Structure 1
Amino acid sequence: MDSLDIAVLRRAVGWLEAGRRVALVTVIATWGSAPRPVGALLALDEDGQPFGSVSGGCVENDLATRLRAGFPTACETVRYGVTAEEARQFGLPCGGTLELLVEPLAGVETLQPALTALERGELRARRVRIADGAVSFRAATPEDSSTFDGAILTQIFGPRWRLLIIGAGQISAYLASMAQALDYRVLICDPRAEYVREWTVGGAELLPGMPDDVVRAVTPDRRTAIVALTHDPKLDDMALMEALKTDAFYVGALGSAATTARRRERLALLEVTPEELTRLHGPVGLPIGSRTPPEIAVSILAELTALRRGVVLARIQPQAQEGNLAVAAREVAAATGSATA
């Protein structure tokens, strides 16, 4: 689920609380190129006012027209893009077909547990029985995925990935904010009270304790990424020493090539094995020429996204990237008064 989903659910709940009839539209299957993935949501009120997205806009307009002609009384499926002419009519990519479930909502109780899960960063499965529209909820796991078998629609709400950020500085703030839109539950660890006091990003969970203790406590798995951004060896090294021994799919740290080389030497002295050191991503992020904190956050999330999607990307112009990250780290340190490595 992405950040748009929570907005769609909030709007739908608001309409229901105002006494309006609401239909929830869910992408249940796609073939070929499709503008939105399975699970994407669209809410329509009784006047056909849309909120959310299941396509580039033309499908939403057609759904609104259908709804104004007669509000649905039961769950129904609709397919778009079956023919090339229809695909052109509704602005679908070449060969793109999508199937939707249109679900008239019986009341707030059919959505509120899902919305609560998203707001709390928890995982919840929502099951819709197509025959009678009955809705139920259960706990979900990160391995669960949205499915539709023709009789039951199962939707998974809440973040299915975790991002543990060591440090509560400027880069971390941008990274935490952006990551929540990409299906991450964000955890922040920084034992420095002055940084914690200045933290303002909502939705991220601040964890007390030293970095090595926190890494062990969160028990990183294959859906966990750990990024050390304090640029303070005393803190970053503690986290990395533990993180590299876990199943985390990504372990990275801020710093130039020279800083990274010194970090590897220090970690080796802390009995981190050569094999474990090969898992360390540094300089952190893809080489996009990033200099500012938000640009560095973008580069980190780009690398995480590539790994999640199984995409292998060449690191272009590494020297330029390393230099830019080093400059950026010094600029951030100067602005916040922190020490650099």
Structure 2
Amino acid sequence: MDSIDLEVLKTSAAWIAAGRRCELITVIKTWGSSPRPVGATLAICEDGTVVGSVSGGCIEDDLIARVRDEGISRTIPEIVSYGITADEAHRFGLPCGGTIELSIEPLSAHSRIDELLARLEQHELVQRRLDLRSGEVELSKAAPGAQMQVSEQAMVTLHGPRWRLLIIGAGQLSRFLAQIALAMDYSVTVCDPREEYRAGWHVDGVQLVHEMPDDVVLEMNLDHRSAVVALTHDPKLDDLALMEALKSDAFYVGAIGSRVNNSKRRERLLEFDLTPEQLTRLHGPIGLYIGSKTPSEIAISILAEMTAIKNGVPTNMIVPHAAAPTQPGDAVCVVESGAV
């Protein structure tokens, strides 16, 4: 599965290769409430076909109508605004007072979209600098933690995996988790030293390694854009890796297991050199409470919790699986087989 960013770029590249005129639209600034975040993209072809999104749909409708009526005639980038007045906010489906500013860039072979895609295939985080006066494009490797920047002279956007996810264990749940995480712009590594589990395990775009998980955690030098999820149920594999991950800057560290197993895991980890404060960072049972029972549902639950933590959602607004309600007689179903 491709992320929206990749889908927009790949479609743009295909239009350019076919000799069709097209434009790349990027959200560069918002005021008040807006449907799409800064950095969201949309590509539009000369026939009005679009891919991607920059609003709830009404701005897209206006862009399409303009292209169909006027064609694509821009030769250099242009900055446009929607929703400046209350009437416009209502017209374009923006919340009252919402305003969105867009960069509209005419694309051609000189836009270096093919080169950008080639670098993204190598899982590189790429910085794309667009000169807003001339339309010239420069590509370079982006530094960790880099942010989108816009000035009167240039717009710098980031493309590629901006977050990293280490999954310990190559099982069925790992496959679903890896596939969804890829679509969310994560660079995914799956680690399992057990050959019988690795055999036949494959997801395009995911690195599969066989070293011991704790060694991989140390080699990855986890930062605040990294997450670790342990899915093996095997303390020999999970515990040491979790210990190292909890001492790192990773924004999320979680492990599968029931409440009982999670309690035993915490007792074991305290026997290592972890502090109680470090141990409080461990999420387990893992995931948000959504009544998940199948591997695909559990994967969604895990990524939902990761996303909430990544986005800074207040703790009192998150219902983790550890706080899942249970009823007499169904605790085993909910905790042991139903989730995580």
Q: Do these two structures clear the TM 0.5 threshold for a shared fold by scoring above it?
A: yes
For 1:1-341, what aligned pairs fall within 5 Å after superposition? 3-68=3-68, 69-71=70-72, 72-107=74-109, 109-314=111-316, 315=319, 317-318=323-324, 320=326, 323=332, 324-328=334-338
Answer yes or no: is the 8 Å Cα contact 1:163–1:226 preserved in 2: yes
User: Normalising by structure 1, what TM-score?
Assistant: 0.90
Equivalent-residue separation in structure 1 for 2:271 and 2:87 (angstroms): 66
| Residue of structure 2 equivalent to 1:336 | none
Equivalent-residue separation in structure 2 for 1:278 and 1:301 (angstroms): 19
Answer yes or no: is the 8 Å Cα contact 2:111–2:136 preserved in 1: no
Amino acid at match of 1:310: G
Query: How big is the alpha-carbon RMSD for the aligned residues of Structure 1 and Structure 2?
Result: 2.1
Answer yes or no: is the 8 Å Cα contact 1:162–1:184 preserved in 2: yes
Pair 120,328 (structure 1): closer, same or farther in 2 beyond 3 Å? farther
Deviations 1:170-225 (CA, angstroms, capped at 9, x unpaired): 21111111112223111110112222223232221112211111111111111111
Equivalent-residue separation in structure 2 for 1:29 and 1:115 (angstroms): 25
Amino acid at match of 2:337: V
Amino acid at match of 1:303: E
Answer yes or no: is the 8 Å Cα contact 1:80–1:97 preserved in 2: yes
Q: What runs of 5+ residues in structure 2 fail to find an aligned partner?
A: none
Answer yes or no: is the 8 Å Cα contact 1:291–1:325 preserved in 2: no
Moved more, 313-322 or 232-241: 313-322
User: Cα offset for 1:64?
Assistant: 2.2
Deviations 1:249-270 (CA, angstroms, capped at 9, x unpaired): 2111101111011112222333
Amino acid at match of 2:63: L
The structure 1 segments of at least 4 consecutive aligned residues displaced by more than 6 Å after TM superposition are: none
Equivalent-residue separation in structure 2 for 1:244 and 1:88 (angstroms): 47
User: Cα offset for 1:133?
Assistant: 0.6
Q: What runs of 5+ residues in structure 1 fail to find an aligned partner?
A: 331-341
Equivalent-residue separation in structure 2 for 1:56 and 1:247 (angstroms): 35
SS of 2:326's partner is helix
Answer yes or no: is the 8 Å Cα contact 1:253–1:283 preserved in 2: yes
Answer yes or no: is the 8 Å Cα contact 1:231–1:254 preserved in 2: yes
Answer yes or no: is the 8 Å Cα contact 1:103–1:133 preserved in 2: yes
